[in-house]
Amino acid sequence: MLDQPLALPCGASLSNRIAKAAMTEGLADPAGRPTAALERLYGLWSDGGAGLLLTGNVIVDADHLERPGNVVIAGEPDAALRESLASWAAAGTRGGNHLWAQISHAGRQTPTLVNPRPKSASDVPLALPGGQFGKPVPLTIDEIGELVERWAIAARACQQAGFTGVQVHGAHGYLVSQFLSPRSNLREDEYGGSLANRARFLREIVRAVRAATGPAFPVSVKLNSADFQKGGFAFADSFQVVRWLEEDGVDLIEISGGTYEQPKLMGIAGMEEEEAQPDLAPSTAAREAYFVDFAKAMQAEVSVPLMVTGGFRSRPAMVQALEAGAADVIGLGRPMCLVTNAPHQVIEGRAQLPRYEDDLGLVPGWLGFLKRIKMVRAVDGFAGIYWFYQQLWLLGHEGRVDEDFSVFKAFRLVEARNKALIAVRG
């Protein structure tokens, strides 16, 4: 089943059922333009056999980067940005695959290094230690309307550059997700309170993007199955939003989960006890893939194609998820940081992809008790993520990976690059 095409509601078709999931690259220049390193990275992935490549965050506001080095489309692009977007798109589609730009805004998850007073749905700060994220300022109604238009402008710019679709990032605690969650959205106007109001921002973005790009251009949404936080965006909420998105004509919904406070997707321990979710009939695939059973429950009620990302490493689990109707597309993330042709290998019969992340972290096993300290746990978790960032940097700049690269060295290098990018940006 992995090599079977998938027809999307808009009329486009994916050549197979494996996607390279979105991962932040950090390879744009200080002005937010794509670079030769991004082109090399996506060229390698395009050669790797996936039917769909999803980019990392393409940001609609330069003051709300998810991290330094994000690509930014904050308005109608100038000639230099149009040219670099087109070169990136050409490299990322050279294998005949789809390439969709993931359009996003970090909201309160904007690092203090970038913006100490970011905008969000409300003024609720992230419950993370270390001062890495500032207290947010609530967006005004006019600012919300402007952001909806920015999403549409960015989507049209990507379409004109040669991208074959877009994905609205509504998961992982970024701005759209902040509106969806009753923990971070305390508004009392038409964008807060009821789920219908909290979902209004997302639905307005989807409709604006569709109007800007036309009926035949794939429009996708990445959505949390749940935030896994007490009082947060829950599975029942997600289920209803999926129904609404189907009504709005979305072509593919990627099911994920978690936030920076509760990084479920990364398999990292969160800052609080995980909120219990409804009991779902367990599947074999769910033993390694985080969100399969959530997607299976949704798929029983909706017809919009679903993509599931998070934890897949074995070919049998991927096939089982497809055959059971739990997913239409399998998303691969971190394996693609080291095995760029993982989709081709899996389709051709490779049974197992490596799980590199099992041994990553700054804190050695014999000091594991230190992870009971929230600050240590947070730094240790992000250090492991930075190791993957370093692999992407090596692929983009040198076309190679280094499995033996030090986690500590990767942490220091990524931090130094972040500061250098911000310093140049001013």
Give the tens place of pLDDT for each residue, 187-219: 999 999 999 999 999 999 999 999 999 999 999
Q: What is the pLDDT of residue 232?
A: 67
CA-based torsion, 255, 261, 267, 269: positive or negative:
negative
**Count of positions (residues) in the chain:** 426
Q: Using CA atoms, how far apart are residues 143 and 190, in angstroms rounded to an integer?
A: 14
Give the pLDDT band of residue 357 (cuts 50, 70, 90): low
Residue 227 pLDDT more than 90?
Answer: no
Give the pLDDT band of residue 382 (cuts 50, 70, 90): low
Residue 279 pLDDT more than 70?
Answer: no
Tell me the mean pLDDT in the region 287-311: 82
Tell me the mean pLDDT in the region 247-260: 86
Q: What is the pLDDT of residue 355?
A: 75
| Count of Cβ atoms closer than 10 Å to residue 42 Cβ | 27
Residue 299 pLDDT more than 90?
Answer: no
In 234-273, which residue ranges form alpha helices assigned H by DSSP?
Answer: 235-247
Q: What is the pLDDT of residue 294?
A: 83
Tell me the mean pLDDT in the region 115-142: 91
Residue 256's beta-bridge partner residues? Answer: 224
Tell me the mean pLDDT in the region 374-378: 53
- List pLDDT tens digits, range 139-153: 999 999 999 999 999
Query: Taking Cα atoms as reference points, which of 207, 211, 220, 116 lies closest to residue 164?
Result: 220
Q: What secondary structure letter does DSSP report for 411?
A: H
- Catalogue all structural domains in the chain, each as residue range(s) with its CATH number: 6-359 (3.20.20.70)
- Whether residue 20 contacts residue 98, with contact meaning beta carbons closer than 8 Å, is answered with no
Tell me the mean pLDDT in the region 94-111: 97
Residue 371 pLDDT more than 70?
Answer: no
Residue 324 pLDDT more than 70?
Answer: yes
CA torsion, points 169, 175, 180, 185, in degrees to nearest 10? 180
Q: What is the pLDDT of residue 300?
A: 82
Q: What is the pLDDT of residue 47?
A: 98
Residue 179 pLDDT more than 60?
Answer: yes
Question: How many helices (H) and strands (E) in the chain?
Answer: 12, 13
Share of the chain above pLDDT 70, in %: 83
Q: What is the pLDDT of residue 109?
A: 95
Give the pLDDT band of residue 1 (cuts 50, 70, 90): confident
- Whether residue 125 contacts residue 136, with contact meaning beta carbons closer than 8 Å, is answered with yes
Residues 6+ apart with CB under 8 A from 160: 82
Give the pLDDT band of residue 384 (cuts 50, 70, 90): confident
**71-85, 163-177, 251-265: lowest mean pLDDT where?**
251-265
CA-based torsion, 153, 156, 157, 163: positive or negative:
positive
Q: Helix 36-46 to helix 374-398 angle, to the nearest 10 degrees?
A: 90
Give the pLDDT band of residue 364 (cuts 50, 70, 90): low
Please, what is the average pLDDT of the chain? 88
Query: Taking Cα atoms as reference points, which of 76, 93, 117, 132 lies closest to residue 14?
Result: 93
Secondary structure class of 25 (helix, strand, coil): coil
pTM for this structure? 0.90
Q: Give the Å distances, CA to CA, from 410 to 263, 384, 415, 417.
A: 20, 9, 8, 11
Q: What is the pLDDT of residue 118?
A: 98
Q: Using CA atoms, how far apart are residues 330 and 332, in angstroms rounded to an integer?
A: 7
Query: Taking Cα atoms as reference points, which of 99, 26, 35 lies closest to residue 65?
Result: 26
Alpha carbon distance, N-terminus to C-terminus of the chain: 50
Q: Who wins on pLDDT, 363 or 184?
A: 184
Q: What is the pLDDT of residue 260?
A: 64
**34-38, 154-158, 271-275, 350-354: lowest mean pLDDT where?**
271-275
Tell me the mean pLDDT in the region 292-297: 83
